[in-house]
Amino acid sequence: METIGYFRCSTSLQDEERQIRALKKAGAIKIYGDHLTGTSKFGDRPELTKCLDELEEGSILLLSELSRLSRSFLGMVNEVSKLIEKGIHIKTLDGRLDTTAMPKEITMLIVSILGYAASQELDQIKTRTAEGRAVAKSRGVKFGAKRKYTPQQAATVVEMREQGKGYGTIAKSMGFTTGKVRRILSNEGVK
């Protein structure tokens, strides 16, 4: 039986090294991995696609935990079901799933529970993130892209507008687009 490992990191800032070392130590002879969220579609994960294409009947898909495959309840249940139907086994390093040692019915029950838990954890992460964002906004933290103009440029745009110059004239003289001139004036409370 060939053992192939798969890791997933939610962001490019996360270090996959921990997962890769653990997968190698557990016997994975090949390892694939993606830097995408757990809610991304399976077709949008190029390394997962390669990994699944390589798995054959009797192979083992090794994961650090089942949520590396998906954080969606339905995604997890559907994908695990497909793999089991193809005769592919799944093992997780956290010890929660080992399809080589349990019947399909028990496997699907465990996967359903783990899928539900992963889905609930994702909902909690989203809730905490939204709450944190709301608190930060109430403290005056600004989100989004940084302004690409200096306070001096904004002052010049405001001054030119107060002199009666049009958006196009201001934009041309400042090297901005008219949209940018409008945003600057809006941010400065000038029409």
**pLDDT category of residue 13 using cuts at 50, 70 and 90:** low
CA dist 106 → 28, 71, 102 (Å): 25, 20, 6
Q: How far apart are CA 22 and CA 5, in angstroms?
A: 10
pLDDT surpassing 70 at residue 132 = yes
Q: What are the pLDDT digits (tens) for 90-131?
A: 999 998 899 988 888 888 898 889 888 888 988 898 899 999
Domain 3-125, CATH among 2.60.40.1120, 3.40.50.1390, 3.40.50.1970, 3.40.50.2300 = 3.40.50.1390
Mean pLDDT in residue range 167-176: 91
Task: Report the pLDDT value the prediction gives residue 122, as an integer from 0 to 100.
Answer: 84
> Please, which residues have CB within 8 angstroms of residue 179's CB and are 6 or more apart in sequence?
none
Tell whether the torsion through CA atoms of 129, 131, 133 and 135 is positive or negative: negative
Q: Domain coordinates of the chain in residue numbers?
A: 3-125, 151-187
Instruction: With residue 32 as reference, give the H or E element that holds it.
Output: strand 30-35
pLDDT tier for residue 84 given thresholds of 50, 70 and 90: very high
- Stated pTM of the model: 0.64
- Which residue shows structure tokens 């989100």? 143
Average the pLDDT over 130-157 and give the result.
Answer: 87
Task: Render pLDDT for 62-73 as a digit per residue (tens, 0 to 9).
Answer: 999 888 888 788
